[in-house]
Amino acid sequence: MLPTHLAEELSLADFAAVFDSLDTVPPAPGGVQTKMRESTVGEKWQGKSRQKRLLLATIHDDSTVVYYIMHDGIVKPRQN
């Protein structure tokens, strides 16, 4: 999650830097990497063809929070 304030002016370069720092598979709890975790989580949660994504939380002075799911690149919409 990336918390921001409505008054912040973020550029595409700022978001590109954030996505460059992300991994496609989140780290294991406590920093422990196991072979089982890599095979099950990497294949089921997010495969090699999936884009990086993050949750952008934007807050306003009146305590309103709006959440956006952002993807790195162009992503085809899901079928519901």
Total tally of structural domains belonging to the chain? 1
In a domain, 76, yes or no: no
Contacts of 33 (CB under 8 A, 6+ apart): 27
Most distant CA pair in the chain: distance in Å? 46
Model confidence pLDDT, tens digit, residues 27-52: 667 656 555 444 444 445 555 556 78
Q: Which residues pair with 69 in a beta bridge?
A: 55
Predicted local distance difference test score (pLDDT) of residue 48 = 56
Domain that holds residue 29: 2-71
In a domain, 45, yes or no: yes
- H or E stretch covering 13: helix 12-21
In a domain, 79, yes or no: no
Question: What is the bridge-based pairing of β-strands 2-5 and 65-71?
Answer: unpaired
In a domain, 66, yes or no: yes
Model confidence pLDDT, tens digit, residues 1-23: 899 999 999 998 998 899 888 87
Per the model's pLDDT, the better-predicted residue between 44 and 77 turns out to be 77
72: pLDDT confidence band, cut at 50, 70 and 90?
A: confident
In a domain, 78, yes or no: no
Nearest to 39 by CA among 29, 28, 51: 28
